Amino acid sequence: MKLKTYVLSTLCFLALLSSCKKDDDNSIDLIPERDRTEQQVADFDSLQKYLTTHYYNRGNFLGSDDHSISEIVITELPKDDSGNYLDMPDPDYNQMLSEAVDIDNPKTTTYQEIEYQYYILELNEGGGENPNFSDNVRMNYFGTLLNGTSFDGTVTPIEFDLMTLIPGWREVIPEFKTAEGFVENGDGTVTFTNYGLGVMFLPSGLGYYGEPKGSIPAYSNLIFTFELYQSEVMDHDGDGIPSYMEDLNGNKNLYDDDTDGDGVPNFLDPDDDGDRVLTINEMTRQTYTVDTNIGEEEPVLAEHEFLRSRTETNGVITIKTLKYVDSDNNGVFDHLQDDVKIDYSVDE
């Protein structure tokens, strides 16, 4: 799958380039790197033109939550003999994409110091929970170019680590919710109910940008339809802190948060500050036992306290948490400063 191999294939591509000899007769013709700001302007113009010349079958999605991406039909407006666009057919059933996504109010995000604009068509929000931008998700999807060329997709649900995907997915998927529930069928399949369903319209800067990917040319805007079923909070380095919480500067790019400057970002580093005390041991641990059989309620977690695990047996819930510590009250947590080396695990 092109999405899942985005990071790995990029590294492999760079390795291939470095191994090519300068005098190799079979040299690779590289596409010149474009200015990201200028490319975003061109991409946004292309997206808006697409949205004002295409419509979708809105009437198909009224009155029910559970639809498939295979039901989403996007069609270009008809043209006359001179190539001029005509009116959209059956406006009671169809809707222009420009209206459906509110073309005058695009979504915005900053990536690589460039402000990007993109659009989302929400067909169903979903009844579960919103994933975090660094979570593992289970979903179906289908990808096309603006010219209608399909380049990737799934038939059965597949799991993705959002951190391995193109940046646009980390922006869009958390806007939707997972399924409200599911039913296990007798044939081994699973039927999900009230799941997130939508379409994302991404500029190349939130996709593969200048890197060609199979049938995707460089600097291509991308369209993805998707069904979001389930998500799982990821702790990539096992340090007890959910990966999304290790985004210290809040830019949804975990790779630029490296407290100890060792070249390993915090979400992949079990010792964030490099003081040789593991991050998980520089936080205090709490265990709560809640017996719902006698009416006990789950505790309200304190500030900077977060769930580590939750189990339930016969109505008795066991909750284990971790809590950040700022032992010297300087505004920096212990696990992020190398001159504080308190190991709280020795008190267990």
Where in the chain are the domains? Answer: 6-20+32-232, 243-347
Strands (E), the chain: 54-56, 74-76, 95-96, 107-111, 114-124, 136-145, 150-153, 158-161, 181-184, 190-193, 196-202, 222-232, 284-291, 305-313, 316-323
What pLDDT is attached to residue 65? 74
**pLDDT over 70 (residue 338):** yes
What pLDDT is attached to residue 7? 47
Q: Six-digit token pair at 293?
A: 């059989």
pLDDT tens per residue across span 75-116: 999 999 999 999 999 999 999 999 999 999 999 999 999 999
Mean of the pLDDT values across residues 219-224? Answer: 98
**pLDDT over 60 (residue 195):** yes
What pLDDT is attached to residue 348? 57
Q: How confident is the model at residue 17 (pLDDT cuts 50, 70, 90)?
A: very low
Least confident of 26-35, 209-218, 262-271: 26-35
Q: Six-digit token pair at 238?
A: 């096992």
Percent of the chain with pLDDT over 70: 91
244: left (phi over 0), alpha (psi -120 to 50) or beta: alpha
**pLDDT over 70 (residue 268):** yes
What pLDDT is attached to residue 70? 95
**pLDDT over 60 (residue 167):** yes
Q: How confident is the model at residue 277 (pLDDT cuts 50, 70, 90)?
A: very high
What pLDDT is attached to residue 30? 65
What pLDDT is attached to residue 128? 97
What pLDDT is attached to residue 46? 98
Q: How confident is the model at residue 1 (pLDDT cuts 50, 70, 90)?
A: low
Identify the CA nearest to 333 among candidates 110, 342, 51, 58: 342
Identify the CA nearest to 163 among candidates 80, 256, 77: 256
Q: How confident is the model at residue 22 (pLDDT cuts 50, 70, 90)?
A: very low
Identify the CA nearest to 64 among candidates 124, 121, 122: 124
By the 8 A CB rule, do 67 and 58 touch? no
What pLDDT is attached to residue 10? 43
Q: How confident is the model at residue 14 (pLDDT cuts 50, 70, 90)?
A: very low
**pLDDT over 90 (residue 259):** yes
* Gap between the Cα atoms of 169 and 173, Å rounded: 6
Q: How confident is the model at residue 3 (pLDDT cuts 50, 70, 90)?
A: low
Class of domain 6-20+32-232: alpha beta
What pLDDT is attached to residue 20? 40
What pLDDT is attached to residue 346? 77
| Better-scored residue on pLDDT, 2 or 298 | 298
What pLDDT is attached to residue 118? 98
What pLDDT is attached to residue 186? 84
pLDDT tens per residue across span 278-287: 999 999 999 9
What pLDDT is attached to residue 4? 55
pLDDT tens per residue across span 301-330: 999 999 989 999 999 999 999 999 999 999
Which pTM value belongs to this model?
Answer: 0.87
